[in-house]
Amino acid sequence: MRNLAPVFGWGGLNTKASTTGLPMLDCVTLQDMRVVGRDLIQRLGMADVGQLAGTTKGLDFTAASSDMCSNLIDTRVWALGLYWTVELAIQPDLTTGTPGIFVAGHTTPAMEVYITGGNLTSKIWDTNGDAVTTTIGAAAAETQTIQITRSAAALKIRLNNGTAVEDVLHATRSVRSPVGDLRVARDDAANYYDGTVDYLRVLGGVVRTHHRDRLVRLANPRAKHVLADYDFNVSAGALVYDRSRYENHLICTNVAAGDEVTSICHNPAPVRALSMFADQNGKKQLLMVAGGQYYLASVD
């Protein structure tokens, strides 16, 4: 056991795990799984562990070329209730004007994020048609991440995992059902965004309290709570894949082959093998293989 990669501390049933020097991926509860003839049903504390692998590609939009991605809105995703999280990673090239970063429903929008007056701004409509507009923070020509969370009336938005900007939504009204297209790099008019988008993801029923993994793409895009997960690694067919179970892929317009750029985020490599054993002191250990490296975890 020489030259092992960093050791993961894995604390019993406390639903937490950590690794030295890297952002923590979300712990995932295993449900309805059978292991060695015994049921593990809704047992808390089972953590999904992954190694951060190499980067792939992001998509650099050019406003002057009217670059954008879009598809008919999937109302199963964007007719959000009272508890949810929306996250995105971007790197603007231009921070002037009123470019739209994304809009959910270009005819009747439910949510949009855009730049105005040099600031990143969000706007969310409820089922009554009332909108709440929130200034997130200054737009900058650098990597920026945005996390929007809602818990009933409490709206919290974090820029680069900083202190949350807080606003108030109606406590019992859901986000209204959008009509039209989901557009990325364009608003509901003709204001185009200039810069890179790395991911856009929607988590239903999940209210995250941090964005420490803001530069890491989702390890489990097929999890039930993932309603959309766009990674902007454009396919040969000019599609941006939705890695969630809904697979509502986006169609690229005016995007050229040279618009693919090095991703600003990392991909997690899945664990390929697990082996449990006890060491000479009777301590339970878990040996994992991920991304071609070995990891040793202590199990309480």
Spell out the domains of the chain, with CATH numbers in brackets. Answer: 8-52+272-299 (no CATH), 57-265 (2.60.120.200)
What's the pLDDT at 129?
96
Among the ranges given (208-222, 224-238, 274-288), the one the predictor scored with the smallest mean pLDDT: 274-288
Q: Are 283 and 298 in contact (CB under 8 A)?
A: yes
pLDDT digits (tens, 9 = 90+) for 117-141: 999 999 999 999 999 999 999 999 9
Residue 282 pLDDT? 77
Using the predicted structure, report yes or no on whether residue 234 has a pLDDT greater than 80.
no
Task: Determine the Cα–Cα distance for residues 153 and 172; give it in Å rounded to an integer.
Answer: 7
In the sheet where 131-138 sits, what is the strand order? 131-138, 119-125, 111-116, 100-104, 181-184, 68-72, 250-253, 239-240
- In this structure, what token pair is assigned to residue 180? 């039209």
Q: What residues are paired with 273 via a beta bridge?
A: 289
pLDDT confidence band for 17 (50 / 70 / 90): very low
Residue 28 has pLDDT above 50, yes or no: no
Q: Residue 238: what pLDDT?
A: 86
pLDDT at residue 78 above 70? yes
Position 208 scores a pLDDT of 95
pTM for this prediction: 0.76
pLDDT at residue 51 above 60?
A: no
CA–CA gap between residue 233 and residue 263 (Å, rounded):
8
For residue 227, give both structure tokens.
Answer: 């309603």
| Burial of 71 per CB tally in 10 Å (0-12, 13-18, 19+) | middle
pLDDT higher than 60, residue 13: no
| pLDDT at residue 156 is higher than 70 | yes
pLDDT over 80 (residue 14)? no
Convert the pLDDT of each residue in 248-295 to its tens digit.
999 999 998 778 888 888 877 655 556 666 777 777 777 766 556 666
